[in-house]
Copies of this chain bind each other. A is one copy, B any other.
Amino acid sequence: SVNPDLASERQTASFSVEKLTALLDGGVEQTRIRRAVVEAIESDPVFSRENQYFQTQNERYEAAVRKAVHLQKKMHEMGWTENGPEYKYIYRALSGDVAFLLHRVFMRSISVLGSDKQIAKWIPLATQHKLIGSYAQTELGHGTYLQGLETTAVFDAATQEFILNTPKISAMKWWPGDMGRSATHTVVFAQLYVHGKCYGIHPFIVQIRSLQDHSLCPGVTAGDIGPKMNFEHIDNGYLLLKNVRIPRENMLSKFCEVRPDGTYVRQGSQKINYFTMTTVRISLISDEVLTPLMKACTIAIRYSVVRRQSKLKPGEQEAKILDYQTQQEKLLPQLAAAYAFHFINDYLQELFNRGYREIQKKKFDMLPELHALSSGFKAVITQHSTAGVEICLRACGGHGYSLLSGLPSLYTKILASCIYEGENTILLLQTARFLIKCFMAVSAGQPVPPSVTYLAAVKPMKCPAKNKLDFLSPDIYTEAYQHVAVRLISSTAAKLQDLIQSGIKKHDAWNQCTVQLVQAAKAHCHYIAVKNFAETVEKLETKAGIQKIMKHLCDLFALHGIFSNTGAFLHDGYTSAAQMDMVTASYLDLLAVIRKDAVPLVDAFDFTDKSLNSALGSYDGQVYQRLYEWAQKSPTNQMSPAYERYLKPLLHNTLSKL
């Protein structure tokens, strides 16, 4: 039975939840396929996550391997293939709780970096799981700066082999998933030396464990890097190589090759490789960032209409905590952001598909823009969403702090997305470098990519809003965001120029501007996200109330951004203090409007109870019952030796009852 406090929230929905779900999925047929996958996965006990919060790191790893192996069988059984429409829903249905993800990266790197001959040899072996692959790039001492990697691969012409070494401790490979305990092979990135000359970083396939008995190969030291904040199911590993010899053919040689006599040959274009890196950043947004944010919103919002605390009006029943303005102000902007990021993700995916088609025609013009957008949005979305999940957790008070709420694990996992696949600050500075370049080009009258043409547009220097309702006009707020982005980019470009002209060296000048460059890059992404949300809303069908509620969310997303960052808009007087008060008024009004549809808006994300795995977030809202029943199963309710060992001797008393 559904908790009546939750049920009542659903009766007053201003729109069709089912239609919004289909919109998010990209059509009714996609919703059907997704649900079928979820149903197949969740009805299979091997994939259960029920005990997850009670398990040790070792148990989590074992379960993840078990699931990965079982998944092969399941896919065969269900007729799912890697190219089929179901495939993209499997990982989401498993909540990512499965091993061998790096095995897929191993395969992709061979496909992208390997010669046809290498692909023909290794891909079938990997597909049939006759080996388990990993991808060993990051070292203890090097993450971001690939050129600084210290592992060496020295060509020995006499034996036609490469000799791989970890020359010092900071050169040890560190972090690669699936490598700590599972992998038999890995792609090692190492500095290539031929006849004493260094040719820089290249990829090599290296066997690290025996296929007979899984023992480490001669010269190989490898293991697990130990406990982490999350990802207990993954055996992130370390790898130390001592004179490990591999055949010449194991250097991945689509772009570079060492001939038998030691001649180094570079061939083809590496631009497609550069493109691969950017697509990875975009592809992680959906499963690794949006899904956790949407889950956190679902849990926190459902809980906030079931939890009653204190009285809003004297003499009445205690109030649902979502009726407090401060609670709305915590949760509803996160909900709006989840929708905003969903739509910007669609935009990025489309852009990348277009980029991919261009590249296949050997046209590489879109690459710099794609790189800048993927870097910037990876950083902005992961950062914003991580903060959002944390806000959801805190907004649930003590119960949010229990692992059984599901929120701590969502938080500790999404946090990693700020660090992996490019640390966020570094990525924002890459976006900033592109923006400064484009700003210079625009100033010189040169053409620039579409997403930055706004840098050239001449705009009114004052916000034209006259009352608080004007701030519900997308033109008004989109232009305000655009103005701020232009101002931050142009002022930082000016500071950079001034420093250089004052005699400071370019790299020093750059470093002295980086705090502001990061702000400029964020403002650019924020502007594009707002503009895209507004444009998406405009295109929605006006039926079924969906456009209306999406418009509210778009307004909230935009106004929350202004309200949280008023200085950027006030700075040069583009927005006046009086206008800022209008923003605040409209923003606070919107909270009360969206609050009415809050539950239907999270219901539309269509998470099952099993996928939420949360005592606070279930569809029926029976929070307290679930917490109690679940807690009773905790291993902490087994007999502890602490009583016999420590408590009994301590109490050691003769009193029977005080």
Contacts and interface: CB of A to CB of B under 8 A. Distances in A.
A416 interface: yes
A329 B211 contact: no
Contacts of A635: 56-58
A476 interface: no
A588 interface: yes
**Size band of the interface chain A makes with B:** 35 or more
Given A132-B651, A511-B312, A580-B567, A181 B143 contact: no
A425 B326 contact: yes
Contact of A571 (B145, B425, B577): B577
B642 A326 contact: no
Contacts of A565: 567
A409 B563 CA distance: 33
A624 B226 contact: no
A398 B418 contact: no
Contacts of A653: 130, 211
Contacts of A640: 58, 61-62, 181
A378 B395 CA distance: 17
B402 A655 contact: no
Contacts of A325: 511-515
Interface stretch (A167-175, A189-197, A442-450): A167-175
A323 B61 CA distance: 39
A630 B225 CA distance: 9
A651 B129 contact: yes
A403 interface: yes
A394 interface: yes
B643 A214 contact: yes
Interface in A378-420: 390, 394, 397-398, 400-404, 408, 412, 415-416, 418-420
Interface stretch (A109-117, A134-142, A268-276): A134-142
Contacts of A634: 57, 224-227
A505 to B, nearest CB: 7
Contacts of A327: 425
A423 interface: yes
Contacts of A228: 401-403, 408
A36 interface: no
A184 interface: yes
A66 B645 contact: yes
B207 A132 contact: no
